[in-house]
Chains A and B, each alone.
Chain A
Amino acid sequence: MRLDLDARPQRSTLREILAPVGALIVAILIGGVVIALMGRSTIEAFDVYFVEPLSQSYSLQAIAVKAAPLILIAVGLAFCYRANLWNIGAEGQFIAGGALGGWLGLVTHDGAFQGVLGSWWILPAMMILGALGGLLYAMIPALLRVWLNVSEILSSLMLVYVAQLALDWLVRGPWKDPEGHNLPVSVNLDPEATLPILFDGGSLHLGVLLAPLVAIVAAIVFSKTLFGYQVRLVGSAPKAARFGGFNDRTIAIAAFAISGGLAGLAGVAEVSGRIGQLLPSISPGYGFSAIIVAFLGRLSPVGIFIAGLVLALTFVGGEDAQIAMHLPGDLTLAFQGVLLICVLAADVLARYRLRFTMGARS
């Protein structure tokens, strides 16, 4: 038996929208069967996992806060992936940005370096440094790729672990809070270095607004600018791009710069807006989850925006399910995996028709 993929003659927007919805339904059905087999109420689980988080202001905010870094990173990754460059080291670029931007927050602690200028410049400078940190860290795989043709998939992945270990060393060593009983955390960032909370008592911080902003700008860049066109052309038809006189090296470096910069920005926004200090580990895997978000969103900024919110919902809903129904945390992790697998499969089915043929090939 063999399985063939036939490209559908016409792309259908409706089908492409319905495909992930169908995948979600299939994943929910699989999850429902598993929960029923465990002797639990499927309806209650569905309610707790998907409905309740969407019906309360607090959990909506929690979803937005969780989605923001995923969206920021994934939008950046879309630039790389559309240009056929496989940066999978966003986790490392996130850490580099969080560390460099966070560092400014540490050195300006308790009014240091604020004599003449005051403190208004600290937050913007942290954001810039954060983006710069991610950008520079992304330049390692980018330049190795452009100059030496080194596989960026592998080099960017290796650099993730280097960044994790470097931050671990910094926070356990030089950046440790001197008053902190020798425990591995930095000092708390001052209010001047903390992104403000938007509503009293809420969790939504200023950095979360970056996500829709960046998604909109990226959507415009992709659809309306020459650069967006070049990125897409380099990815889909590199020869034509070179023939058209575009410098594919410059575009590759620019794509990596955007991707690393946004990951770094997400990192510093997380440190400043949410964590409020530097820890040996500042990311619960955002850089890797964002790769999945990028694909779930089909590499389009709008799609990524929605996909980021959906993935964030599965985190928040998963914790709700642990709290309200005492479902094991591993179940929600496995469910997340199933959901991702279904959406990846559905994406293909939207564009291709499956054909099973019995017997050998003709």
Chain B
Amino acid sequence: MRTLFTAAAVAALSLAAAGGAEAAGKVKACWVYTGPVGDFGYSYQHDQGRLAAAKALGDKVDATTFLENIPDSDSERAIEQLARSGCNIVFTTSFGFMDPTLKVAKKFPKVMFEHATGYKRNPNMSTYAAKFYEGRYVMGQIAGKMTKTNTIGYIVSFPIPEVISGINAFERGMQTTNPNAKIKIVWVNTWFDPGKEADAAKALLAQGADILTQHTDSAAPLQEAEKAGKLGFGQSSDMMKFAPKAQLTANTDNWGPYYTQRIQALIDGKWKSEDTWDGIGKNMVVMAPFANMPDDVKAAAVKTTADIASGALQPFACPVLDQDGKDRCKPGAKTLEDGDVLGMNWYVKGVDDKIPQ
């Protein structure tokens, strides 16, 4: 029994060694996802980014490895398994992986790590996130023009800064086109539960909302808008297929260029620990084609998108008044500081809701 075991172990080790030699010329990039790649939302878009990087870099990269459906509390082992299996760079794509990634990064100084939406870094650990709120500003402007009932339904998951800054940007965009419009917020306390998201959507439609937007992952709310003959926005992915008559545009996550660029940097020996926070300008946030709206609204949306991309328009340009009318900007500042947006836990003036505690 013992000899058999040893033989098998030797065989396994030599197999592993052979695999390593074969891949020596290539950079091996690996991913960890919080959800299933089939969620057609957040994890799906990261996987699309992986595929885009694989395509762009061709022979230079082995980008075939990922682990899906990894719970936060069990992620350290998954990340470490990847680091040990010969990955040169590991992308950990969920906020909950922050401390586990940092722990593994300290253990494996030769492997590079990239953590999405967190704030802890190391010489071999970068962070990256997208300015989703930029897209939401555009959506707010469109909604302001397209609403007839002046009520926009907004379905949200959890009161974290990414979500709050999205609501605030939407509100500020909407105020520029329609100061009378109001957003009606419903917290569903889940990222993904199609049934519950649909319930929230239907409740909002029943209460007079004629445009829906969401910061949850499934296509259910948009589908409800389509069914009711109302309008809505897609989230994470272009959801046009689900709502050809309802989707105005979608705030899509486009990770491909970033992944390509970071892996290329590693190949060139130029990878550094950085903090990347890009939006429409660097194509990390991409607006899906504007549809189901008149030409003038479309033209305005295209212009706003271009202005945000060039930096001419800042969704949080000062002054930024909160619900009490207090300006949250530093004296003399042109825009709100990044840190204030990244840790946002207050609403701008005009939002008629209380952040749940």
A and B: interacting chains = yes
CB contacts (< 8 Å) of B72 on chain A: these are 279, 281
Q: Is the CB of A284 within 8 A of B357?
A: no
Q: Is B11 an interface residue (CB 8 A)?
A: yes
CB contacts (< 8 Å) of A172 on chain B: these are 158-159
Q: Name the residue on B nearest A322 (C-beta).
A: B67
Pick from B223-231, B304-312, B342-350 the stretch touching chain A.
Answer: B342-350
Q: Name the residue on B nearest A318 (C-beta).
A: B67
CB contacts (< 8 Å) of B80 on chain A: these are 58, 62, 203
CB contacts (< 8 Å) of B95 on chain A: these are 183
CB contacts (< 8 Å) of B66 on chain A: these are 322
Q: Is the CB of A182 within 8 A of B69?
A: no
Q: Is the interface of B mostly helix, strand, loop or mixed?
A: helix
Q: Is the CB of B357 within 8 A of A173?
A: yes
Q: Is the CB of B71 within 8 A of A281?
A: yes
Q: Is B278 an interface residue (CB 8 A)?
A: no
Q: Name the residue on B nearest A47 (C-beta).
A: B12
A52, B73: Cα distance in complex, Å: 24
A277, B69: Cα distance in complex, Å: 21
> Which residue of A51, A62, A283, A324 is within 8 Å of B9 (Cβ)?
A51
CB contacts (< 8 Å) of A58 on chain B: these are 80, 84
Q: Is A164 an interface residue (CB 8 A)?
A: no
A54, B13: Cα distance in complex, Å: 11
Q: Is B77 an interface residue (CB 8 A)?
A: yes
Q: Name the residue on B nearest A169 (C-beta).
A: B357
Q: Is the CB of B12 within 8 A of A51?
A: yes
Q: Name the residue on B nearest A173 (C-beta).
A: B357
A67, B15: Cα distance in complex, Å: 27
> Which residue of A47, A277, A326 is within 8 Å of B8 (Cβ)?
A47
Q: Is the CB of A329 within 8 A of B67?
A: yes
A188, B73: Cα distance in complex, Å: 13
Q: Is the CB of B73 within 8 A of A183?
A: no
Whole-angstrom distance from the CB of B30 to the nearest CB of chain A? 8
Q: Is A149 an interface residue (CB 8 A)?
A: no
Q: Name the residue on B nearest A282 (C-beta).
A: B73
Q: Is the CB of B119 within 8 A of A181?
A: yes
Q: Is B327 an interface residue (CB 8 A)?
A: no
- Given A181-B343, A183-B160, verify A274-B76 contact (CB < 8 Å): yes
Specify which of A66, A283, A319 lies most central, judged by the most chain B CB atoms within 10 Å of its CB: A319
Q: Is the CB of B85 within 8 A of A324?
A: yes
CB contacts (< 8 Å) of A152 on chain B: these are none
CB contacts (< 8 Å) of A182 on chain B: these are 159-161, 164, 343-345
Q: Is the CB of B77 within 8 A of A185?
A: no
> Which residue of B36, B76, B81, B103 is within 8 Å of A320 (Cβ)?
B81
A319, B82: Cα distance in complex, Å: 9
**What are the 10 tightest A-B residue pairs by CB atom distance, in nearest-first order?**
A55-B9, A181-B343, A284-B71, A284-B74, A182-B345, A52-B12, A323-B85, A51-B8, A329-B68, A282-B73
Interface pairs (15), CB distance under 8 Å = A51-B11, A62-B80, A62-B81, A172-B159, A182-B343, A184-B160, A203-B80, A274-B76, A276-B103, A277-B99, A279-B72, A284-B74, A319-B77, A323-B65, A324-B85
Chain B contact residues, CB within 8 Å of chain A: 5, 8-9, 11-13, 15-16, 19, 30, 36, 64-69, 71-74, 76-78, 80-82, 84-85, 95-96, 98-99, 103, 107, 119, 158-161, 164, 342-345, 357
